[in-house]
Structure 1
Amino acid sequence: MDVRNRWTAPFTWAARAFRVPGEERRSLIQIAKATAAAVIAWIVATSVLRLPQPFLAPYAAVFLVQATVYRSLRGWAQQVGAVGVGVVLAAGAGQVIPSVTVALGLVIFTGLLIGSWRGFGDSGVWVGITGMLLISYGNATEPVLLADRLLETALGAAIGAVLNAVILPPLHGERLRAAASRLAAVIADVLDETAALVRAGEATEVLDDRMRDVRSLVAEAEDAIGWTRESRYLNLRGRRETREEPLANLVSLWPPLAQLIDAVSEAARSEQPFRRPGEYARGVVGDLLEAVAEVARSGDPDKLDRCRKLLDEIDHLLVAPTDEVTTSIGLGAMALPARRLVQRLRAD
């Protein structure tokens, strides 16, 4: 079964790319654009400009079809700058150093050193590589060929960046929606599990593992928000992008949720009775957490009315306790993060 799945995986991926507007389709579109950019760059360099051996044109075109329009345009400037510096280094070394071996070593060392400047980004390595290629191919002493290499790179990079910006510029809305769905589901599940533990007055190590799951999904969500915001820069389709506010609101639930879990665990493990809420108070907290879980799962702010009523009941227990007079310390520790959870859900 595993072998069959492994063989059919590429076909399943391709079918999903055509059927569902998700990650697979975006990857397929980017692959097609990179291929088209490389072919167009090669045709322009060979048939229109008639440049000799213009291998850098399609190479640069492929690498400039980036995950966002902003990265493509920034990459164009970095790539051209890096190659330009590499050409200057090679030209200088070729003119003053007669030994190819010595010139090669000096250009590589100096190029990689200069390329480490963060302004070049990921293209910095091309300072040294460009100089190395020109020295090793014997082009460093021929100004025309040096200019051709720079022109090829600028041409290919420009074609790649323009195609990426004009033809279905990439957006990351599906990543945002998927992250929001996963995070909302796991937060709701943790709240439901916590509600059951609060009612039982028990502590369990399972919650620690679940909180690590939440933290991992929070990190994924923050990454999705960053990609979404960047994908809007200079993007012709930017206004159609999914809003990140609902996901950012879910991310903001992480600190009070972690505080709540700590309070629940501390109260359950404490051997001092005055730190443990009584049965009635625990039931109210459990109802509140289940109500908050329902809001997080459904995304419906209209369901917050029940949460507010339960918070008011907890406030009443804190200032005017029933026969469970000794429960106010444990209950108070849970009440504050629970209130913050409701407030942050309301902020959406």
Structure 2
Amino acid sequence: MARRSLVQTTKAAAAAVIAWIVATSVLELPQPFLAPYAAVFLVQATVYRSLRGWAQQVGAVSVGVLLAAAAGQFIPSVTVALGLVVFTGLLIGSWRGFGESGVWVGITGMLLISYGNATEPVLLADRLLETALGAAIGAVLNAVILPPLHGERLRTATSRLASAIADVLEKTAALVRGGEAADLLHERMRDVRSLVAEAEEAIGWTQESRYLNLRGRRETREEPLANLVSLWPPLAQLIDAVSEAARSEQPFRHPGEYARGVVGDLLEALAEVARSGDPDKLDRCRKLVEEIDHLLVTPTDEVTTSIGLGAMALPARRLVQRLGAD
């Protein structure tokens, strides 16, 4: 992530310098301060955002220029024109189509009115040209030179979520066997839920960074992380079932010692698969699921516990299925 930040910062600085040189030395625009300003803000976190931002920024600045021109022609008082242009510009800029560039409508109008450029068509055209130029340079530079990818964010999220899920499964196995506090387990589950949200955000960034990206084929695949995210619903159901059985004073809800041992073995095996990411290790998990199914249908001294065991069996089976889906 530090490397990506350094690359993006370097590109932003280069874009500002290039925009300034082109605007001053090539086009000879007077006071082209908007060119480097726009260039910096268009070196964004993804290529898609840079290209979308270019269209939004040029559109917002164009509306701001038109507002300033209209105010300069029909409102003689600079103070009144300034207030009306800022108010109207910010109101128009709140349209979601402008995105984060919407504020440029009011700001552009304010700058042109305050600098006294609103009545000079040539200067108005210059402001629009330099903004479009700077934004284009920033967007193109971001798209062509080491366009940003977010594989590192994805890999970090995958590692953290896999480790947290494995830890929770191991703690759940201890609770099933009677050696762990349910309250502590629920605290760990809140951590997992937070990591799931981070993982979903990382997946979104990865998918967006691949779009229109010349290096998109080199991006890390998000399927392994998406598969881990899909474990959240059955994992939460399993924790609820185990916690409810552990708190219950009714013997028919809490599985007997042997059944709890099988469930504990299954959860520890699932933890190993989640941590290693190796679906080939699921064979033992599948055998343990079959053993749980056998306990549910075979009359034994412990089958009075079938309600609690059945509540654990379904989410445990789903965990096995989803870990093997990659």
CA contact (8 A) 2:82 2:113 kept: yes
Cα distance in 2, alignment partners of residues 322 and 313 from structure 1:
13
Local SS of the residue matching 2:177: helix
Cα distance in 1, alignment partners of residues 179 and 294 from structure 2:
21
Cα distance in 2, alignment partners of residues 204 and 231 from structure 1:
40
| Structure 2, unpaired ranges of 5+ | none
CA contact (8 A) 1:203 1:268 kept: no
Cα distance in 2, alignment partners of residues 256 and 55 from structure 1:
56
2:255 corresponding residue in structure 1: 277
CA contact (8 A) 2:296 2:303 kept: no
Q: Deviations over 1:278-330 (max 9, x none)?
A: 00000000000001111100011110000000000000000114211211000
Residue 197 of structure 1 deviates from its aligned partner by: 1.1
Cα distance in 2, alignment partners of residues 292 and 102 from structure 1:
69
Residue 133 of structure 1 deviates from its aligned partner by: 0.4
CA contact (8 A) 2:292 2:313 kept: yes
Cα distance in 2, alignment partners of residues 329 and 248 from structure 1:
32
Local SS of the residue matching 1:114: helix
CA contact (8 A) 1:203 1:269 kept: no
Against the structure 1 CA distance between its residues 239 and 279, is the aligned structure 2 distance closer, same or farther, given a 3 Å change threshold?
Answer: same
Cα distance in 1, alignment partners of residues 293 and 24 from structure 2:
77
Residue 249 of structure 1 deviates from its aligned partner by: 0.1
CA contact (8 A) 2:167 2:271 kept: yes
Against the structure 1 CA distance between its residues 48 and 85, is the aligned structure 2 distance closer, same or farther, given a 3 Å change threshold?
Answer: same
| Structure 1, unpaired ranges of 5+ | 1-24
Local SS of the residue matching 2:252: helix
Local SS of the residue matching 1:273: coil
TM-score (norm 2): 0.99
Query: Matches of residues 109-258 of structure 1 in structure 2 within 5 Å?
Result: 109-200=87-178, 203-258=181-236
Local SS of the residue matching 1:51: coil
Local SS of the residue matching 2:146: coil
Residue 201 of structure 1 deviates from its aligned partner by: 6.9
Residue 44 of structure 1 deviates from its aligned partner by: 0.2
Cα distance in 1, alignment partners of residues 181 and 308 from structure 2:
14
CA contact (8 A) 1:202 1:268 kept: no
Residue 199 of structure 1 deviates from its aligned partner by: 1.1
Local SS of the residue matching 1:275: coil
CA contact (8 A) 1:169 1:235 kept: yes
Find runs of 4+ consecutive structure 1 residues off by over 2 angstroms: 201-204
Against the structure 1 CA distance between its residues 202 and 67, is the aligned structure 2 distance closer, same or farther, given a 3 Å change threshold?
Answer: closer
CA contact (8 A) 1:69 1:169 kept: yes
2:293 corresponding residue in structure 1: 315
Residue 202 of structure 1 deviates from its aligned partner by: 5.6
CA contact (8 A) 1:201 1:282 kept: no
Structure 1 stretch 195-204 or stretch 261-270: which is displaced more? 195-204
* Corresponding pairs, count: 324
Against the structure 1 CA distance between its residues 26 and 202, is the aligned structure 2 distance closer, same or farther, given a 3 Å change threshold?
Answer: closer
CA contact (8 A) 2:8 2:43 kept: yes
Cα distance in 2, alignment partners of residues 202 and 234 from structure 1:
50
Which residue of 249, 253, 263 corresponds with 2:241?
Answer: 263
Cα distance in 1, alignment partners of residues 162 and 325 from structure 2:
15
CA contact (8 A) 1:108 1:131 kept: yes
Local SS of the residue matching 2:214: coil
Local SS of the residue matching 1:200: coil
Residue 203 of structure 1 deviates from its aligned partner by: 4.2
CA contact (8 A) 2:171 2:180 kept: no
Which residue of 62, 70, 82 corresponds with 1:84?
Answer: 62
CA contact (8 A) 2:234 2:315 kept: yes
CA contact (8 A) 1:203 1:265 kept: no
Residue 92 of structure 1 deviates from its aligned partner by: 0.4
1:46 corresponding residue in structure 2: 24
CA contact (8 A) 1:187 1:293 kept: yes
Provide the aligned C-alpha RMSD in A: 0.7
CA contact (8 A) 2:60 2:104 kept: yes
TM-score (norm 1): 0.92
CA contact (8 A) 1:83 1:150 kept: yes
Local SS of the residue matching 2:117: coil
1:67 pairs with 2:63? no
Cα distance in 1, alignment partners of residues 286 and 299 from structure 2:
19
Q: Deviations over 1:55-96 (max 9, x none)?
A: 000000000000000000000000000000000000001000
Residue 175 of structure 1 deviates from its aligned partner by: 0.4
Against the structure 1 CA distance between its residues 329 and 203, is the aligned structure 2 distance closer, same or farther, given a 3 Å change threshold?
Answer: farther
